[in-house]
Structure 1
Amino acid sequence: MKIGIAGGGAFGTALGVALALDGKDVTLWARNPEAIETMQNDRKNPKLPGVELPRNMSFSAELDSIFACDTILIAIPAQTVPAFLNAHVDQLTGKNLIACCKGIDLKRMTGPASTIKDLVPNATAAMLTGPSFAADIARGLPTALTLACADDARGAELQAALSTTSLRIYRTTDTIGAELGGALKNVMAIASGVAIGAGLGESARAALITRGFPEMQRLAVKLGGQPDTLSGLSGFGDLVLTCTSEQSRNFRYGLALGRGETFDSSTTVEGAATARAVRQLSGELDIDMPICTVVADLTEDKTDVMRALNALLSRPLKEE
């Protein structure tokens, strides 16, 4: 099985490294010709310092290079996925399209796997998600991920094709639960970063993680996901990782908000857009999601950290 990767960021490149080192046929596409030239000639990606790219991993700035592959990992920002799919429906039809990004599209209000299913209906839509940092994957450190595919037989094929000695992949047919777990944990990571950045302490972070998890479950179940999926790698596992490590871009963004510092605008923070999408969805579906709402307001400067904290602490007392 030939595997193509759309996106030359850290995560897409790291997946390519792991797969190529396992002997798989991998081609990575990125839109920046200079970045492709650096990866092809120097075998380095500046976003993965200290990692040498395998010689059997190919790179191209031409999209036809990945359209020739049976399976394509889509590792571009979640908000750009619909435009990518719409622009290349004919070339993507019949392929295995696996979303490796996490978020909820602000216009469509769907996660990446659902977006694939809607826009390229004759492709196999899947989601690869779970607690993972690009640096760990690229260094060959043990990582467990969830592959979600509604077609269980095809999911089993993809599970076998993408598993390596360092990547242990579990599978589920619950694409809704998997994509929402991956998207919503980014919002909670921002909230956790805010708590630490504002000096609220580890106990506050623990409380946010604990109360944030039921919020994730409420929305996922309302939209058709399974509670058990949220309790697995793609939900709780990813939640713990991203809320407790500065390797998480969403957590670092929250740290900057909490400290009142400027954050690098060139860094993709999927949780910011997701929080705004969730705020809209929670209103439409009449679901109580106070942490997500506060994070959305913070990202748009509609509130500040202390007012956000007071809004959460002034909520009515109730049973856990």
Structure 2
Amino acid sequence: MDKKITSLGTTHPFDRIAVIGGGAWGTALASVAARAGRETRLWMRDAELASEIATTHRNSRYLGKIGLPHAIRPMTDMAAALKDAEAVLLVTPSVTIRAVAAEIGRLAAPGVPIFVCAKGIEAETGLLMSALVEEVAPGRPVGTVTGPTFAAETAAGHPTAVTVACTTDPGLSASEQAATRMAMSLTTGSFRPYVSDDMAGVEVGGAVKNVIAIACGILAGAGFGDNSRAAIITRGLDEMKELAVRLGGRRETVAGLGGLGDLILTCSSRQSRNFSYGMQRGQGIPDDKVFEGRPVVVEGRHAAITVTDLARRLGLHMPICEMVRAITADGQPIAIAFAGYWAAPIHAEARTADLAFEHPAAEAVTRHFEEKFP
């Protein structure tokens, strides 16, 4: 039986959206906003790239030959991009978010919401991206747009679903909340947003999934199959849920698009830099030789440190993330790291069951992984 559709009142989209960041995902989101009929300004630092988008309607550096909507207005003046903007999509790398968000807070009109679309945890403070933005650009709603997305597929119009989450204003109805309005603003024939008010639950998924993807890639590179990947995805999801709850989020949120959906995508495709990096490491390629020595950004390597640092401060054990950190940051041999994880004491899957016993075949585990990772 179909669910009855209940009207929440009139939802007004944001008519003018500023996208701050002209990389792959920023350009893809600008494409979505423009196709949804929004007045879309795309800010970037590179004047040459802005000129290319304006004249050829391509971003060849990041999206190859994919055609972009002619309505996108690229520019290098942030003040001009933010002038009269009703909402901001902040899509610069996570390491730049603090500085860029502070500039947006100075230039954007009071109360204009910022949806930060970078994923991760700030190393120095342990803050999720939304908390970081709230600190440097206070007094405005802060949200995110996240989910199982590859930028090129989104820009090309492949059917895509995301979660739009934002802090809520108790004085507004559900239809007037910033997350609802942004979901309305980005909905197109191929781009389908869902709405959430659980910022912590949504953001933890984005922060942790790249770490889990490295572990899955390592196993795939060594020749292990779908059983192994399914196990790591499932147990990695549990680690994500535990961290989300500690930060005030909900476990069911992590089972949605921003958590499980993004995790499955990142752990299953060579389009993911993190999965691809792990595959190369699993094939025996040294860390400094992956991607043929090119300086490719692998977010999971940095996140393995920031996620486990935060978990340790919270007294939370995240064994898969700790294993990836041991391999990528501490230089532990892959065989030893995986054997340590797989030979850990057996415990109940449900957290409510009080059960644990030593692995009865720990030595066999060690031999098994040493054969694959000599």
TM-score of Structure 1 vs Structure 2, range by shorter chain: over 0.9
Q: Distance in 2 between matches of 1:55 and 1:281?
A: 43
Partner of 1:49: 64
Taking a change above 3 Å as real, the CA distance of residues 94 and 211 of structure 1, as seen in their structure-2 partners, is: same
Separation in 1, partners of 2:147, 2:39:
23
SS class of match (1:168) = strand
SS in 2 for 1:262: helix
Q: Kindly provide the amino acid, as one letter, of the partner of residue 270 in structure 1.
A: E
Alpha carbons of structure 1 residues 256 and 316: separation in structure 2 relative to 1, 3 Å: same
SS state at 1:137 partner: helix
Matched, 1:160 2:184: yes
Tell me how far 1:3 sits from its aligned partner: 0.8
Find out whether 1:116 has 2:133 as its counterpart: yes
For residues 99-148 of structure 1, the C-alpha deviation after alignment (integer angstroms, 9 at most, x for no partner) is 11211111121221221122211121001111111111111111111011
Count of aligned pairs: 320
Q: Percent identity?
A: 37
Determine the structure 2 residue equivalent to 1:274: 303
Aligned twin of 1:89: 105
Is the counterpart of residue 4 in structure 1 residue 18 in structure 2? yes
After superposition, the C-alpha distances for 1:160-208 in whole angstroms (9 at most, x for unaligned) are 1122221111111101111111111111111111111222332211111
- Higher RCO structure, 1 or 2 (CA under 8 Å, sep 6+): 1
RMSD: 1.6
* Residue 37 in structure 1 maps to residue 65 in structure 2: no
**Partner Cα separation in structure 2 for residue 176 and residue 249 of structure 1:** 24
**Structure 1 unmatched ranges of 5 or more:** none
Q: How does 1:1-320 map to 2 (within 5 A)?
A: 1-46=15-60, 47-68=62-83, 69-92=85-108, 93-151=110-168, 153-259=177-283, 260=285, 261-263=289-291, 266-320=295-349
Aligned residue identity for 1:282: A
Q: Structure 2: how far apart are the matches of 1:265 and 1:106?
A: 24
Determine the C-alpha separation between the residues in 1 that align with 2:87 and 2:318: 36
> Structure 1 residues 266, 38: CA separation in 2 closer, same or farther (over 3 Å shift)?
farther
Q: Give me the whole-angstrom Cα distance separating, in 2, the residues matched to 1:196 and 1:205.
A: 8
Note the C-alpha offset of 1:57.
Answer: 0.9
* Whole-angstrom distance in 2 between the partners of 1:212 and 1:254: 15
Letter of the 1:231 counterpart: A
> Whole-Å Cα distance in 2 between the matches of residues 80 and 304 of structure 1?
32
Question: Deviations 1:33-83 (Å, cap 9, x if unpaired)?
Answer: 222122222221121123112211111111123221221111111121112
3-state DSSP of counterpart to 1:196: helix
How far off its partner does 1:319 sit? 2.4
Q: CA deviation at 1:158?
A: 1.7
Structure 2: segments with no counterpart, 5+ residues: 1-14, 169-173, 350-374
Q: 222-231 vs 304-313, which deviates more?
A: 304-313
Specify the SS of the correspondent of 1:195. helix
Separation (CA, whole Å) in 2 of partners of 1:87 and 1:60: 16
CA distance in 2, matches of 1:20, 1:89: 24
Residue identity matched to 1:180: V
Deviations 1:215-269 (A, max 9, x none): 1111110111111100111111111111101111221222222222423654332
Mapped partners of 1:66, 1:303: distance in 2 = 47
What's the CA shift string for 1:252-307, capped at 9, x where partnerless?
22222222242365433222222101111121111110110111222224212112
Distance (Å, rounded) in 2 between the aligned partners of 1:87 and 1:57: 22
Letter in 1 for 2:81: I
State whether residues 67 and 156 of structure 2, in contact with CA within 8 Å, keep that contact through their aligned partners in structure 1: no
In 2, distance between residues paired with 1:2 and 1:257? Answer: 44
- Aligned equivalents of 1:220, 1:48: Cα separation in 2: 33
* Structure 2 Cα separation of the partners of residues 268 and 290 of structure 1: 24
Distance in structure 2 (CA, Å) of the matches to 1:185 and 1:124: 25
Please say if residues 104 and 137 of structure 2, whose CA atoms lie closer than 8 Å, have aligned partners that are also in contact. Answer: no
CA contact (8 A) 2:32 2:186 kept: no
Q: Distance in 2 between matches of 1:87 and 1:306?
A: 46
Say whether the 8 Å CA contact 1:114–1:176 is kept in structure 2.
Answer: no
Question: Distance between the aligned counterparts of 1:266 and 1:29, measured in 2?
Answer: 25
TM-score of the pair, normalised by structure 2: 0.82
Q: Is the 8 A contact 1:105 1:274 kept in 2?
A: no
